[in-house]
A = this chain, B = another copy of it.
Amino acid sequence: MRQNHAVDCPFKPVAGGITAPMGFRAGATSCGIKNPEVMRLDLAMVYSDYKTRAAACFTTNKVKAAPVRVSSQHVKNGDVRAVVVNSGNANACTGPRGIADAKAMTKSAAEHLDLDMQQVMVCSTGIIGMPMPVERILPKMGELTMGLSSRGSDRAARAIMTSDTKPKSYAIEVECDGCVFRVGGIAKGAGMICPNMATMLAVITTDAAVELSELRRATQAAVDQSFNRITIDGDTSTNDTVIVLSNGASDLPLIKSKGPCVEIFRAALRRVMMELAKMIVRDGERVTKFVEIRVKGARTHNDAKNVAEAVAKSTLVKCSWYGGDPNWGRVMHAVGYADARVREELVDIYFGGVCAAKGGLPSGAPMKELEKITRKPQFALTIDLNLGEADYNVYTTDLSEAYVDFNSSEYSAAVHAKRQQGLV
């Protein structure tokens, strides 16, 4: 049965997250980074027992956090044995001290693991503009490396959470040419999620061996088709990072751009990233709906993308979803201001399978049927421009009152907490 299943669909979901691929270990510990009085898991590590080939994508924001600057240098060598990730502080807008702190974290990890510091990458997530409390992190590095385990994925996934309500982890086993390899990953998201790598971190591992140039290409392509297709609030952050480590611990021969199994590998990487991306959207800060926007019939790929993103980012459209309101007129107005060729009299809009507007006009569908869709916690919105063949999908959420409340006092609260602790 399992064999048949594998033939029908080559991807079999498996447990183990980032440690599902062979030769990877992970772990986490508590440093009190955000608040020394509240010890929760906030420092994670992913480690490969073997030499790796590594690829990464970083934020396009011109304000780049210190760990982004340091890690983008370290990944250039292509051999990354460990990734250190902390939550609770973004180490962004922290100047030369921030760079020194990020380097100190890689150096400390490297010493404990007997590696070169260039073989260690670092990611941070949390508040912007506060100095990194390395004095609370570095003393815990030994404990962290000692605790690395082939069952440590879940702890690591928990340690990188900020406002996430659930750890995000996914892994698959893949058969190809009679061999088996695995791809696994963990991610954190929530808030500031938008195409172009908004505040989200993901670390992906695979025990397939992949040629470095192919790994880089496949990573960028998979990110474009997964993490860059999700948006919660249209903001892009200073810290976004996706890292892929390939250690070749499986028995599969080296995957090359024109060799066997390359298509399956690319699809597997895309699948893992897509599953993690959807988990991020579903767990958006205090939002209540998961909406897939499908634009079709556009003249060009860019037209389709611009329409999808304009609708996904419209606060008025997002508010209407929050109320379960099938307000297709607001969708029309967002379509109309997108940077794309649009002919109003050709636009069709569907909620789920029900046509709300045909040729830019009310379809006459009963309100009850439309509301039956938009009141669901998850639905698809299809926009057919009827001008061409290009399409584009994004995954997004509504905008809730709780989101606004939740995001209204982060900085004040952080500073006041520090003051109470006598730290400022």
Q: Which residue of B lies closest to A345 (CB)?
A: B95
**Residues of chain B within 8 A of A336, CB atoms compared:** 61-64, 236, 238
A337 to chain B: which residues have CB within 8 Å?
Answer: 60-62, 196, 235-236
Given the known inter-chain contacts A62-B342, A337-B62, please indicate yes or no for A320 contacting B237, CB distance below 8 A. no
User: A416's contact among B335, B367, B401, by CB below 8 Å, is which?
Assistant: B367
Partner of A325, one of B315, B403, B409: B409
A347 contacts across to B, CB distance below 8 A: 63
**At the interface, yes or no: A191 with Cβ under 8 Å from chain B?**
yes
- Find chain B residues with CB under 8 A from A62 CB: 335-337, 342, 344
Q: Which residue of B lies closest to A375 (CB)?
A: B412
Using A316-B192, A371-B412, A408-B319 as known contacts, say yes or no to A61 and B333 having CB atoms under 8 A apart: yes
Q: Which residues of B contact A345 (CB under 8 A)?
A: 95
Q: Can you show 25 pairs from A to B with CB atoms below 8 A apart?
A: A62-B336, A62-B342, A63-B333, A63-B335, A64-B344, A92-B333, A94-B361, A95-B345, A95-B359, A95-B360, A129-B328, A233-B316, A236-B333, A237-B333, A238-B336, A315-B315, A319-B404, A320-B411, A323-B412, A324-B412, A325-B409, A328-B411, A367-B416, A400-B404, A401-B402
The 9 closest A-B pairs by CB, nearest first: A128-B329, A323-B408, A63-B336, A327-B411, A319-B407, A323-B409, A129-B329, A61-B336, A401-B401
